[in-house]
Amino acid sequence: MSKLRLGPVVEERPVKLTVELPGSLMRDLADYAAVHAKLTGLATPLAPEKLIAPMVERFIGSDREFSKQRRRKA
């Protein structure tokens, strides 16, 4: 079982978004993709850009203050 925060990545209908990342972060994403592939049994690592959305989703989902403020707004 993977101890990474990011589990299996589910493909959904994408929305195109362009962002600029520092080179060091892109290298970290590539390294993360390699570790993720090894721990989840993928034959080849996902492209680093495929990890960004699930990582952001996981971050937002685990932010308690955001969840509290969001409920307050609703």
DSSP assignments along 8-63, one per residue? PPPP-----------HHHHHHHHHHHHHHHHHHT-SSPPPHHHHHHHHHHHHHHT-
Range of the domain at 27: 23-73
Position 5 in a domain = no
State mean pLDDT over 41-56. Answer: 94
Q: Are 51 and 27 contacting, i.e. CB atoms less than 8 angstroms apart?
A: no
So what's the pLDDT on residue 5?
77
Please indicate, yes or no, if residue 1 is contained in any of the structural domains.
no
Asked, for residue 60, whether it belongs to a domain, the answer is: yes
Query: How sure is the predictor about 2, in pLDDT bands with cuts at 50, 70 and 90?
Result: low
CA–CA separation, 12 vs 4, rounded Å?
Answer: 21
pTM of the entire predicted model: 0.77
Structural domain count of the chain: 1
Within-domain flag for 18? no
Give, in order, the Cα–Cα distances in Å from 67 to each of 7, 8, 58. Answer: 21, 23, 12
Q: Please indicate, yes or no, if residue 52 is contained in any of the structural domains.
A: yes
For residue 40, tell me if it sits in a domain.
yes
